[in-house]
Amino acid sequence: MKEPITITELEVWKVLEQIPDPEIPVISITELGVVRDVKIEGSAIAIKITPTYSGCPATNVFEQDIKTEMEKLGFEQVNISFQYSPAWTTDWLSEEAREKLRDFGIAPPEGTTKDKKFLLGEDPTVKCPQCKSTNTVMTSQFGSTACKSLYKCQDCLEPFDYFKCI
C-alpha cells in the first residue's frame, strides 16, 4: 500500500519555481509565466502550460522536467496539457524575471504588447543590458534562438540578445 499523497498545490508550485527555463536558466518556468494551472486529483496531477513561442524547442524540455519532478514527488500520473488561448505573451514575464534577464546579459522585452510602437511593427528602443545605453542596433532578426534578436551596443560595443516582445 502506497502512502497517500499529502502534497498541496502550493507545494507543487514551489517545486515548479525551481525548474529553470531551458534556454535562459536564470529564470524559472513560473517566472516565465508558462505554468497556468495546477490541480491535484488523488495520486494524479494535472498541469496546464502555455508554450511560449510556438515551435520553441524549449517546451519539450521543460515538459519532461515537469514530469520528472512530479514523479519524484510521488504522483503516479502526470497529465500535462497545453493551453493555447490566451496565447503566451512577454507581458507575463514577472518584473523579477526581467531583472534576472538583464543580469544574464539579455535585454528583456521593452514595454508591453499594448504599446503602439509594437502594433505598428516599429523596432523598439532596446537598452544595452551592460551599460544601459539606448544607442543600440539590431544586427540580426534571430539571435541564439528564434525567440531572440541579436543586438549590438554602439557605446560599449557588446553584442547582446534581445528577448522579443510578443
Chain positions contacting Zn ion, by CB under 5 A: 128, 130-131, 133, 153, 155-156
Q: Which is nearer to Zn ion, 130 or 145 (CB)?
A: 130
- Minimum CB–partner distance for residue 152 and Zn ion (Å): 9
- Minimum CB–partner distance for residue 156 and Zn ion (Å): 3
Query: What angle is formed at CA 142 by the lines to CA 141 and CA 145, rounded to 5 degrees?
Result: 160
- Minimum CB–partner distance for residue 97 and Zn ion (Å): 21
Q: Which is nearer to Zn ion, 66 or 126 (CB)?
A: 126
Please list the residues that pair with 150 across neighbouring strands: 140, 161
Q: Which is nearer to Zn ion, 38 or 107 (CB)?
A: 107
- Minimum CB–partner distance for residue 127 and Zn ion (Å): 9
Q: How far is CA 116 from CA 60, 86, 121, 165, in A?
A: 33, 20, 9, 13
Other CB atoms within 10 A of residue 31 CB? 22
Q: Which is nearer to Zn ion, 7 or 156 (CB)?
A: 156
